Chains A and B, each alone.
Chain A
Amino acid sequence: MIRMENVSKSYKNGVHALRDVNLYIGEGEFVYIIGPTGSGKSTLIKLLDGEEIPNTGEVHVAGIDVGRLKHKKVPIYRRNIGVVFQDFRLLPSLTIFENIAFALEVIGLDKVTIRRRVREVLELVSLSEKARSFPHELSGGQQQRATIGRAIANRPKVLIADEPTGNLDPEKSMEIMGLLEKINREQRTTIVMVTHDAQLVNRYKKRTIALEEGYVVADIQKGGYIAHD
């Protein structure tokens, strides 16, 4: 589902974010990407999302060469993937219902289908009562669930989550994890989750890829957090 070959990325300011990364993630997998701040996790997500272009190497997601997409084709590619952002990125002027509906409107679904699907998704992320609220009226955990709802609304093949539990207390984090596992299990959605929550990684053991200074330093199938010095 995701294939990265010899991917390197450096920024104009001279920072080498990723160095010669080779990665293969199969369909239906649930993978953690861990690593300290500045290890290249965010860059990895931006490459998968099409927000950044690799300097060398290729990034393929769901059969699409993401690095070669034209500016105007990027949004169309993104319809295949769902991204959960750490900072939520909900449209502030739309209600939760409208926010999720928007992601379906842009891909051209009809009204009835959209309504049905949005209700389903709101049910799944337990936000049915908050449908008419605006993002700023919700707590962090609720907003995070809304973004997850939006990300999965069009049944993407891949769900990329950037620190989805980063702003939440442990109890809420477990709630989100439960939700992601459910999506992974029931929809067969491939999930790539960036985190540095050691507790979570140790508790819900999954394939774990560790990044450090732009290199992949570990890829452990059985999972568990790796201590850094």
Chain B
Amino acid sequence: MISFFTVLGRHIKSAFLSLFRHVAMTISSSSAVTVTLILFAAFLLLAGNISKFTGNIESDFRIHVVLNQDQMQQEQFDSMHSQLLALEHVEKAEFSSKDQELELYIEEKGEAFALYRGDSPLGNAFFVTVDSGDNIETVTQQIKNLPGVSNATYGGDSVSQMVDILNTVRIGGLAFVALLTFLAVFLISNTIKISIYARNQEIAIMRNVGATNHYIKMPFMIEGMFIGIFGALLPCLLAYFGYEYLYNTMGGQIFTSAFRLLTPIPFGVEVCVVLVLFGALVGILGSSHAVNKYLKWVR
């Protein structure tokens, strides 16, 4: 008896032989993979960036909580800190002293306010981070009602509307990708089924000479895997270089820094890897499914 790896080697060899002896089939199946994967790549790139945008905007979702002027003692800060954390949806509350507040103010409004250094007229404050943009409004209201709070503000309605829109786009995109995936699997397994149909005689002969179902399936599955990988190559290159080109032309962002694009490395590479794995998986599933059908045909 011979080892598993020797057999695997034979299967890979026979898969390659078959790939080259059925060149037309290899090309037609591969191009089915290519077409769907190009669309798939476009959506992966889009969905990945939308996720990033939403994340960016959401990370700006901090509530600025300004305390009353009478809140000056460390114990008061501590109790306020724990009150804030006790609220639902609050993830984090960072203390910002009145001096730090002044620095931020100077940064925003200009050096003219540097005069106040050492005697900040501003109140002490907290930056509160909430778990998601959807909850920011209710949390802000709750904080305003806390005793000792002078005011609580966040970016406002326009920001939360933006998050809503991006969320919709993201979910819609995800649904579209799911649908596309389903279509791709269907299309590819069908193409492979048609090409294997021409070889059902071959499968029957293999059983005639004593090849087990498993033994018959292996080379077809390896073949399917390589068809998937070949088919993924072009979309992979297109996705990476296309994205890199886009990234460079756009200067890495769309309009504002809130819409910062993901960098080609690693994102473009990740998309590539996903495409190749996806192509391979679909190829394996498709041909396994197709061979199963013909294995059952004859005893």
Contact = CB atoms under 8 A, between A and B. Distances in A.
A106 B24 CA distance: 27
Q: Give 10 closest A-B pairs by Cβ, nearest first.
A: A106-B211, A79-B210, A103-B209, A78-B210, A89-B205, A93-B21, A75-B207, A75-B210, A110-B2, A51-B299
B205 A75 contact: no
Given A105-B10, A106-B215, 16 more contacts: A52-B299, A53-B299, A75-B206, A75-B213, A76-B210, A89-B204, A89-B208, A91-B205, A103-B210, A106-B206, A106-B211, A106-B212, A107-B210, A108-B2, A110-B6, A111-B6
Interface of A: 49-53, 71-72, 74-76, 78-79, 83, 85, 89-93, 102-103, 105-111, 150, 154
Contacts of A91: 202, 205-206
B109 interface: no
A44 to B, nearest CB: 15
A51 B297 CA distance: 11
The interface residues of chain A, by DSSP majority, are classed as loop
Nearest to A110: B2
Interface in B5-26: 6-7, 10, 17-18, 21-22
Interface of B: 1-2, 6-7, 10, 17-18, 21-22, 201-202, 204-213, 215, 296, 298-299
A76 B299 contact: no
A50 B215 CA distance: 19
Contact of B208 (A83, A93, A105): A83
Contacts, number: 64
Contact of B2 (A52, A85, A109): A109
Q: Which of B2, B201, B210, B215 has the most chain A CB within a 10 Å cutoff?
A: B210
A57 B249 CA distance: 79
B7 A78 contact: no
B225 to A, nearest CB: 19
Contacts of A75: 206-207, 210-213
Contact of B212 (A72, A83, A90, A103): A72
Contacts of B204: 89
29 contacts: A49-B208, A51-B299, A71-B213, A71-B296, A72-B213, A74-B207, A74-B299, A75-B206, A75-B211, A75-B213, A76-B210, A78-B210, A79-B210, A83-B208, A89-B201, A89-B204, A90-B205, A91-B202, A93-B17, A93-B202, A102-B209, A103-B209, A106-B209, A106-B211, A106-B215, A108-B1, A110-B6, A111-B6, A150-B209
A74 B210 CA distance: 8
A38 B1 CA distance: 43
A108 B7 contact: yes
A78 B209 contact: yes
Contacts of B296: 71
A78 B202 contact: no
Contacts of B299: 50-53, 71, 74
